[in-house]
Amino acid sequence: MEDQTLSHLPKHLAIIMDGNGRWAKARNLPVSEGHRRGADVLRKIIEAVGNRGIKYLTVYAFSTENWRRSSLEVNAVMQLMRFHLEKSLADLVKNNVKLKTIGDLSRLPKDLIKSLKDAAEKTKENTGLTLIVALNYGGRQEIVSACRQLIEKVSAGDISANEINEEIFEKYLDTTDIPDPDFLLRPGGEKRLSNYLLWQMAYTEFLFTDTLWPDFTETDLDDALSFFAKRNRRYGGRAA
């Protein structure tokens, strides 16, 4: 990786891990094998991101729309989550990684919910990378949920409608107390957000690459970070 100061790195990197199914299909393998390979890549990238001094990493593990896939694929993904969560917990603790989740966990298998909550509890004091896993997450659903909560507050007289601003609204999002992503990386060749962090990405830099997620490497990560380091982030203003 080229020499870069921390000021040139994103504080918060968001990743859409795309291409597991296509990777498997190209090799005449079951889709579950693509997800297995993708999970192995994620473990390596989590460590690499932490080693590079990035403070927040959010990964899109399972969307609200992914329930539309076959029950065989969904069950395989859930089983992989169980396996890798158990396998990775010691690494998260050792590498000072704090685990958080966003999304509605209630629809997930109860044993997986318990494992996720246990892992979050065991890593809550860690001070290195914060890993945010988006599970049964959808950006539109998150915004609707925040609106409902605010309507309830207004109806109860706890807050007036005139007081509502962006800062207050953000307190009702899943990502409250987490900075917005500076940088979105989507391997896999697709160029869309897929209902991911819609509110939070108002000023995020985007990079879409053709590399399928199971083929993604630390070199690909460093190339992406080099791309980000060259961006002139103006937030609606003019370049100096």
DSSP for 131-177, please give it: EEEEEEE-HHHHHHHHHHHHHHHHHTTSS-GGG--HHHHHTTSTTTT
**Per the residue annotation, which of 18, 136, 174, 182 is the catalytic one?**
18
Contact 137/63 with Cβ under 8 angstroms? yes
pTM over 0.85: yes
**Per the residue annotation, which of 3, 20, 51, 66 is the catalytic one?**
66
For the chain, the domains span 10-137+179-229, 139-177
**75 in active site:** no
**118 in active site:** no
Contact 112/144 with Cβ under 8 angstroms? no
Other Cβ atoms within 10 Å of 20 Cβ, number: 24
**Residue whose C-alpha is closest to residue 197's, from 58, 66, 49:** 58
| Residues making up the chain, counted from first to last | 240
Contact 202/175 with Cβ under 8 angstroms? no
Q: What is the pLDDT of residues 63-80, one digit of tens each?
A: 999 999 999 999 999 999
174 pLDDT above the threshold of 80: yes
Residue type present at position 184: L
The arrangement of secondary structure in 10-137+179-229, i.e. its CATH architecture, is 3-Layer(aba) Sandwich (3.40)
Q: What is the pLDDT of residues 113-135, one digit of tens each?
A: 999 999 999 999 999 999 999 99
Residue 3: pLDDT band with limits 50, 70, 90: very low
Alpha-carbon distances, residue 149 vs 121, 145, 168 (angstroms): 26, 6, 11
